[in-house]
Structure 1
Amino acid sequence: MKALHDFVKKYEPSKENKMAHTVFDGFYTFLFQPDTVTSDGTHIKDGMDLKRLMVNVVLALQVLYIFGTWNIGHQHFLALGEHTGLLEGFHLKIVYGLIQILPIFVVTHVVGLGIEFFYAGRKGHAIEEGFLVSGALIPLIMPPDIPLLWLAIAIAFAVILGKEAFGGTGMNIWNVALLARVFIFFAYPTTISGDEVWVSGIEKVGTEYFAASYNWAHGLFDWIFSGVGLSQFGAGGQAVVDGWTGATPLGIAAKEGWEGVTAVYSTDAMFWGGIPGSIGEMSVPLIVLGMIFLIVTKIADYRVIFGGLIGFVVCALMMNAIAPPMDALTEDMDGVFKFMAIPWYYQMIMGSFLFAITFMATDPVSSADTPTGKWIYGFLIAFIGLIIRVMNPAYPEGWMLSILLMNTFAPLIDHYVYQANMNRRAKRTAAMAEQRNELITKRGDLPVFDENSDYVPVGNTSGQ
């Protein structure tokens, strides 16, 4: 390792060349932990710096990248009625998913890190680490067919106006990854809403759906697969199966309730994540695995997560109490009542709540700072988000909006928590003073402080 370190250091440019040295420092600190620690005894000597912390979050996301890559291909072939088993055509699903997700990943990091490098070079300081996590999250919260140009514009907007304008990493008041998504949602809504955008490679022609023709990359892999006797992509362009729908469970639930959802998707498919949706937000077990990792390593604060879980269940139970029982629902009943009647445990596996509360809401920069504030912050994100999901017919998911809203109000939450703490201490101090005065009244004397630092009562100045 020392030989590798010395080899890398040999190419360190002069500090006078700010841009070149900034780029080198960014890669150097990514590869190696700090070689200096606090010299006195007041701090723990640890190699864990901000980059290492961010890398751990990125590591927790890797299982979601693997699953999301497979699910892109799985949903594509389900639409065609081919390789419908989970492991059927596994090689085709992985390759198809990689061809879709790699350009998204590359564009995200080229644009985002490019802007970070530019600002760091202009300021003459080290590259900030904040985009490591944002860059890993953005591909996972996008649909698999997102246009790359619009993705690049959204990332530029989020990084420049959402972070650099406020001073860079640690200064942003909103979650950067969610800013990129909200920009896409409001600037190019047809690319991130509707029933067709969540399944890759499917085009609507008139009233029918067809698979897009495969490109040269698929042809290259067909040549490889044919050599080893595996199934191949073929030409593509065929029609999808009759009755196919790319609608997500939430899109169906907003109109038809739980009965309509289960007519298309099984609870097992929703739990494991084999449904259409954003690339990495679907698999409950893998998200919970990442949640446990972040809590155990103390990278994410458990208060935000558990506060969110409590808020979600409370809001869902309140909606269940307002809505008619599920067995009393009728076809002509308004869809919002059907949605409200869905039990909380089904609501939790239908969408991206667990992903949002684990990886988005726990951002330490944009969330509340006080321990009590974190409980309130997480609770309100879930409570408000579920209301948006159920009550807003145009947007059957609410975590993006609720998290950005609570990012805005996080400082206010902390302010009132601090104020409540100060008021409580002031009352405690006043109560103690009152007790002291009552004691003085009963004793009939007043403690004084003499020059020898001994308390003696009035009328007894001898100190005996």
Structure 2
Amino acid sequence: MKALKKVIHNLDPKFEKGGKWEKAYPLYETLSTFLFTPKHVTKKGAHIRDGVDLKRTMFMVVLALIPALLFGIYNTGHWHYELMSHLNPEEYGAYSDYLVGFGDKVIYGLLQVLPLIIVSYAVGLAVEFIFGFIRGHGLHEGFLVSGMLIPLTMPADVPLWMVGVATAFAVVIGKEVFGGTGMNIVNIALTARAFLFFAYPTAMSGDKVWKSGTNEVIADNGGTLPDGASGATALGDMASLVGDAPVVAGEVLSSEAGSAELIQKFENAYDPLHAIIGMIPGSIGETSIIAILLGAALLLYTGVASWRIILSFFAGGLVFGLLMNLIGANAYMDMPAWYHLILGGFAFGAVFMATDPVTAAQTQYGKLWYGFLGGGLAVLIRVLNPAYPEGVMLAILFMNIMAPLIDHYVVQVNISRRKKRFKTA
């Protein structure tokens, strides 16, 4: 490595200002600082020299996402073959597990998920390099994480061109117009997802997008899904409990059924253990609580993520879920509060989205309020507005906007407290 480092640094004069390849400096600086600690130092004032720079911090987050990514790949293949078993039971068996092995599911899932990741990184890095060349700086580190988060927040069947458009929109409008990494006011990955959610809602919600291959199955089945092959998510079914025609796992229930009966039907269809393991439909990276918590453990152990935000986010969701239980106006409000913590993108958002160091609150007490209100707002959006079954995205984006205000009031409270101490001294 020392020999490689020497070779690379010998090239510095050719890429620096006045050098032969000056215009290619952003590309050179990006590659060299990714491999080795940057030589940049503070010229004045106090500073700390540390080998763990921003690139390596972001790379740690990518490592923490690997368990969720691997499980998402398998889960994508699993639900595809489960869906196909309903269309063609003679070929795939009554249950796909009988005739389709683990390797088949992984290979199918990889073929579906890998293109999403490639498109996300290709488009995002292309935009980053364009702005880098315009501004004369290297590649910003933040997209190392955003490029992985964007596909993990998407359904496996989302068209690739939509991923590309959403990524470009998020990087340009959500990040570069504010000055690049460290200057954005909202989470980049959630900005991409929000763009698709509002621009192309049928590709991001409904009953057709959560199992890969659903559109092909519908086309082969005369325009409908076969019986028992519902493509809905648990949150979608949960939201339907407050409507005139509750639907759980493809079964239309009586609107006259009581809350207890509807909740029991839901719990039978979506076993909490399956939800914790991740064997339910959903976005690629959000289904397995176990995989997400493994990533959380790494982030907390390395000090990359804030335990205050993660813990308070879960606490806020639980408290507001219990508050809904006290109101109890319908079956959705009567749903056990802890169910909200294990379904949908709640855990994924708490660990990987809400903890974004750029868009989250910065003060210690501010982080607690930021996380608590974010988790609570996610539950409120889910329960009070069933049109948005997944309230986590909107809750975190809203709290991103409110984070500076939260920090402001925390600082003001500290200033007032110190003033009182000064007067009594």
Q: Shared fold by TM > 0.5?
A: yes
Displacement of 1:38 in angstroms is: 7.3
Matches within 5 A, 1:269-418: 269-323=274-328, 337-418=330-411
**Matched-pair contact (CA < 8 Å) for 1:210–1:240:** no
Q: Which residue of 2 aligns with 1:53?
A: 57
Structure 1 residues 40 and 179: alpha-carbon distance in aligned structure 2, compared to 1, 3 A threshold = closer
Matched, 1:117 2:129: yes
Give distance in 2, aligned partners of 1:292 and 1:86.
35
> How has the CA–CA distance of structure 1 residues 87 and 59 changed in structure 2, closer, same or farther, with 3 Å as cutoff?
farther
2:71 aligns with 67
The reply on whether 1:193 has 2:205 as its aligned counterpart is: yes
Aligned residue pairs, count: 392
Structure that is richer in helix per residue: 2
Tell me what 1:445 maps to. Answer: none
The residue aligned with 1:28 is 32
1:261 Cα shift?
Answer: 2.4
- For residues 36 and 393 of structure 1, what CA distance do their matches in structure 2 show? 51
Instruction: Tell me, yes or no, if structure 1 residue 424 matches structure 2 residue 409.
Output: no
| Alignment-mate amino acid for residue 77 of structure 1 | Y
Task: Give the gaps of 5 or more residues in structure 2.
Answer: 86-91, 242-261
1:99-132 Cα deviation digits (max 9, x unpaired): 1111111110111011111111111122210111
Change (3 A) 1:9 1:431: closer
Asked if the contact 1:37/1:46 (under 8 Å) is kept, the reply is no
Query: In the aligned structure 2, how far is the partner of 1:258 from the partner of 1:95?
Result: 36
Larger radius of gyration: 1
Tell me the distance in 1 between the aligned counterparts of 2:263 and 2:216. Answer: 27
Letter paired with 2:96: T
RCO higher in structure (CA 8 A, sep ≥6): 2
Structure 1 position 14, deviation (Å)? 2.5
| Secondary structure at 1:85 match in 2 | helix
Alignment partner, residue 233 of structure 2: 248
Q: Which residue of 1 aligns with 2:177?
A: 165
1:4 corresponds to: 4
How far residue 45 of structure 1 moved from its aligned partner, in angstroms, is: 4.0
CA–CA distance in structure 2, aligned partners of residues 187 and 39 of structure 1 = 47
SS of equivalent residue, structure 1 residue 203:
helix
Structure 1 residues 38 and 173: CA distance shift in structure 2, 3 A: closer
Measure, in 2, the Cα distance between the counterparts of 1:192 and 1:60: 25
**Is the CA contact 2:69–2:285 (under 8 Å) kept in the aligned structure 1?**
yes
Alignment match, 2:258 = none
> Map of 1:136-155 to 2, 5 A cutoff?
136-155=148-167
For the residues of structure 1 that align with 2:286 and 2:11, how far apart are their CA atoms?
A: 41
> Once the two structures are superposed, what CA deviation does each residue of 1:334-376 show, in whole Å capped at 9, x if it has no partner?
xxx1111111222211221111011000011111111111111
Deviations 1:10-47 (A, max 9, x none): 66653344442211221221122335777999655431
Quick one: percent identity of the two aligned structures? 48
Q: Distance in 1 between matches of 2:384 and 2:332?
A: 9
Aligned-residue CA RMSD in angstroms? Answer: 2.4
The yes-or-no answer on 1:262 pairing with 2:247 is no
- Contact kept, 8 Å, 1:254 with 1:338, in 2: the verdict is no
Amino acid at match of 1:29: T
Calculate the TM-score normalised by the size of structure 2.
Answer: 0.86
**Letter paired with 1:312:** G
Gaps of 5+ in 1: 212-236, 325-336, 433-464
- What letter corresponds to residue 429 of structure 1 in structure 2? F
Q: How far 1:55 moved relative to its partner?
A: 0.2
